[in-house]
Protein backbone atom coordinates (compact mmCIF):
# COMPACT_ATOMS: atom_id res chain seq x y z
CA UNK A 1 0.00 0.00 0.00
CA UNK A 2 1.26 3.44 -0.90
CA UNK A 3 1.43 5.45 2.30
CA UNK A 4 3.23 7.97 4.47
CA UNK A 5 3.25 7.66 8.26
CA UNK A 6 4.50 10.47 10.50
CA UNK A 7 5.80 10.07 14.03
CA UNK A 8 7.62 12.04 16.71
CA UNK A 9 5.13 14.74 17.59
CA UNK A 10 4.44 15.89 21.13
CA UNK A 11 4.63 18.69 23.65
CA UNK A 12 7.76 20.84 23.80
CA UNK A 13 8.62 24.06 25.56
CA UNK A 14 9.33 27.28 23.69
CA UNK A 15 12.96 27.33 22.60
CA UNK A 16 13.11 23.57 22.55
CA UNK A 17 13.70 21.07 19.77
CA UNK A 18 11.80 18.18 18.25
CA UNK A 19 12.41 15.79 15.38
CA UNK A 20 9.59 14.45 13.24
CA UNK A 21 9.92 11.40 11.02
CA UNK A 22 7.92 10.16 8.08
CA UNK A 23 8.05 6.55 6.92
CA UNK A 24 7.25 5.94 3.27
CA UNK A 25 6.12 2.69 1.71
CA UNK A 26 4.62 1.34 -1.47
CA UNK A 27 6.57 3.53 -3.89
CA UNK A 28 10.14 4.32 -4.90
CA UNK A 29 10.82 6.92 -2.24
CA UNK A 30 14.22 7.90 -3.61
CA UNK A 31 12.68 9.14 -6.87
CA UNK A 32 10.56 11.82 -5.27
CA UNK A 33 10.94 15.26 -3.81
CA UNK A 34 9.30 15.34 -0.38
CA UNK A 35 7.66 18.18 1.51
CA UNK A 36 6.40 19.14 4.93
CA UNK A 37 3.14 21.06 5.20
CA UNK A 38 1.66 22.25 8.49
CA UNK A 39 -1.71 23.35 9.81
CA UNK A 40 -2.08 25.40 12.96
CA UNK A 41 -5.19 24.64 15.03
CA UNK A 42 -8.27 25.90 13.22
CA UNK A 43 -6.14 27.46 10.49
CA UNK A 44 -5.23 26.77 6.88
CA UNK A 45 -2.41 24.88 5.21
CA UNK A 46 1.14 26.25 5.10
CA UNK A 47 4.03 24.76 3.14
CA UNK A 48 7.04 24.38 5.44
CA UNK A 49 9.85 23.00 3.33
CA UNK A 50 11.10 20.62 0.66
CA UNK A 51 13.94 18.23 0.06
CA UNK A 52 14.71 17.18 -3.46
CA UNK A 53 16.04 13.81 -4.60
CA UNK A 54 19.58 12.61 -5.21
CA UNK A 55 19.42 13.73 -8.84
CA UNK A 56 18.95 17.26 -7.54
CA UNK A 57 21.65 16.86 -4.89
CA UNK A 58 19.16 16.66 -2.00
CA UNK A 59 18.76 20.42 -2.06
CA UNK A 60 16.35 21.94 0.43
CA UNK A 61 14.12 24.98 0.60
CA UNK A 62 12.17 26.44 3.49
CA UNK A 63 9.37 28.86 4.16
CA UNK A 64 10.54 32.20 5.51
CA UNK A 65 8.72 31.49 8.80
CA UNK A 66 10.98 28.51 9.61
CA UNK A 67 14.19 29.22 7.70
CA UNK A 68 17.26 28.93 9.92
CA UNK A 69 15.33 26.98 12.59
CA UNK A 70 14.05 23.91 10.74
CA UNK A 71 16.04 21.39 8.75
CA UNK A 72 14.82 18.62 6.45
CA UNK A 73 16.76 15.45 5.76
CA UNK A 74 16.08 12.06 4.23
CA UNK A 75 17.48 8.54 4.30
CA UNK A 76 16.67 6.84 1.02
CA UNK A 77 18.03 3.52 2.28
CA UNK A 78 15.34 3.53 4.99
CA UNK A 79 12.60 5.28 2.99
CA UNK A 80 12.42 7.92 5.66
CA UNK A 81 12.05 11.69 5.83
CA UNK A 82 12.86 13.89 8.82
CA UNK A 83 12.09 17.37 10.04
CA UNK A 84 14.41 18.74 12.71
CA UNK A 85 12.77 21.68 14.47
CA UNK A 86 14.89 23.90 16.68
CA UNK A 87 14.22 27.14 18.57
CA UNK A 88 10.53 26.30 18.56
CA UNK A 89 7.99 29.06 19.07
CA UNK A 90 4.38 28.88 20.22
CA UNK A 91 3.31 29.77 16.70
CA UNK A 92 4.91 26.54 15.44
CA UNK A 93 2.11 24.62 17.15
CA UNK A 94 0.46 22.67 14.34
CA UNK A 95 -0.23 19.34 12.76
CA UNK A 96 2.70 18.56 10.52
CA UNK A 97 2.07 16.53 7.37
CA UNK A 98 4.64 14.93 5.16
CA UNK A 99 3.59 14.88 1.53
CA UNK A 100 4.96 13.47 -1.67
CA UNK A 101 5.64 16.04 -4.37
CA UNK A 102 3.30 15.89 -7.35
CA UNK A 103 5.03 18.59 -9.33
CA UNK A 104 3.09 21.70 -10.23
CA UNK A 105 -0.18 19.89 -9.48
CA UNK A 106 0.53 19.82 -5.77
CA UNK A 107 0.54 16.94 -3.32
CA UNK A 108 -1.49 13.85 -4.05
CA UNK A 109 -0.12 11.64 -1.26
CA UNK A 110 -0.26 12.86 2.35
CA UNK A 111 0.49 11.33 5.71
CA UNK A 112 -1.99 11.33 8.58
CA UNK A 113 -0.19 14.16 10.35
CA UNK A 114 1.72 14.55 13.61
CA UNK A 115 0.71 17.12 16.23
CA UNK A 116 3.40 19.38 17.64
CA UNK A 117 2.44 21.55 20.59
CA UNK A 118 4.82 24.28 21.73
CA UNK A 119 3.80 25.50 25.16
CA UNK A 120 5.22 26.18 28.59
Please give the residue ranges that form the binding site for other proteins (CB under 8 A): 37, 44-47, 61, 63, 97, 102-108, 110-113
- CA distances to 11, 32, 100, 118 from 107, rounded to whole Å, are 27, 11, 6, 26
Query: What ranges make up the beta strands (E) of 26-79?
Result: 34-39, 45-51, 60-62, 70-75
Nearer to other proteins, 23 or 45 (CB): 45
To other proteins, the closest distance from the beta carbon of 95 in angstroms equals 9
Please tell me what DSSP assigns to residue 32: S
Give the C-alpha separation, 120 to 61, whole Å: 29
Q: How far is the C-alpha of 10 from the C-alpha of 82, rounded, in Å?
A: 15
Residue among 104 and 120 whose Cβ is closer to other proteins: 104
Could you tell me the smallest distance in angstroms from the CB atom of residue 97 to other proteins? 6
Q: Which is nearer to other proteins, 115 or 117 (CB)?
A: 115
SS3 of 87, please? coil
**Min CB(32)–other proteins separation in Å:** 15
Query: In the bound complex, what is the minimum distance in angstroms from residue 62's beta carbon to other proteins?
Result: 9
- Whose Cβ is closer to other proteins: residue 56's or residue 120's? 56
Amino acid sequence: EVQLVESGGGLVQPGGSLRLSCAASGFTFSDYYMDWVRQAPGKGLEWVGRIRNKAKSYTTEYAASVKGRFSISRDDSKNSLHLQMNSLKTEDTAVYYCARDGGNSGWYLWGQGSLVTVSS
